[in-house]
């Protein structure tokens, strides 16, 4: 019903920057929290950053002070600005959103994007 599409990944040198974008599209929905997760081979998917509908933000300790999550509600878009990237940041980054649908019976579900690869070389 609701599709999330990430973009902005790529290959960068350590110390470089990337900005990821995620756009939600579909019919008759609203979004609560939005978040970025990442998963490297052999590792569990981990929460990187989260932003509520009111703009409150939370970050994993490993990215705090380097990454910034933001959102544009009018565009149904969430961003992740990544600065001072490290090789340890190499992973596939996934967008996540809590989606609410229905006008009478409220239905809540999680939506996931397909992921965008971020590779940081040393």
Model pLDDT, residue 89:
98
Sorted by sequence, the CB contacts under 8 Å of residue 82 that are 6+ apart come out as 17, 18, 19, 20, 63, 66, 67, 89, 118
Phi, psi of 38 (to 5 degrees): -145, 155
- Helix or strand or coil: residue 20? strand
Q: Based on the number of CB atoms within 10 Å of its own CB, is 83 exposed (0-12), middle (13-18) or buried (19 or more)? A: middle
The three-point CA angle 109-112-113 to 5° equals: 150
Model pLDDT, residue 1:
81
pLDDT tens, N- to C-terminus, the chain (122 residues): 899 999 999 999 999 999 999 999 998 899 999 999 999 999 999 999 999 999 999 999 999 999 999 999 999 999 999 999 999 999 999 999 999 998 888 889 999 999 999 999 99
Q: Are 63 and 54 in contact (CB under 8 A)?
A: no
């Amino acid at each position: 019903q609701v599709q999330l599409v990430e973009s902005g990944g790529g290959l960068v040198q350590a110390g470089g920057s990337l900005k990821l974008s995620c756009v939600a599209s579909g019919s008759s929905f609203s979004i609560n929290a939005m978040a970025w997760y990442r998963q490297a081979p052999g590792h569990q998917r981990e929460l990187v950053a989260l932003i509520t509908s009111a703009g409150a933000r939370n970050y994993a300790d490993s990215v705090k002070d380097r990454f910034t999550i933001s959102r544009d509600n009018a565009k149904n878009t969430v961003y992740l600005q990544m600065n001072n990237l490290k090789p340890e940041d190499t992973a596939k980054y996934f967008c996540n959103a809590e989606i609410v649908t229905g006008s009478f019976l409220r239905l809540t579900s999680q939506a996931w994007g397909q992921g965008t690869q971020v590779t940081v070389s040393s």
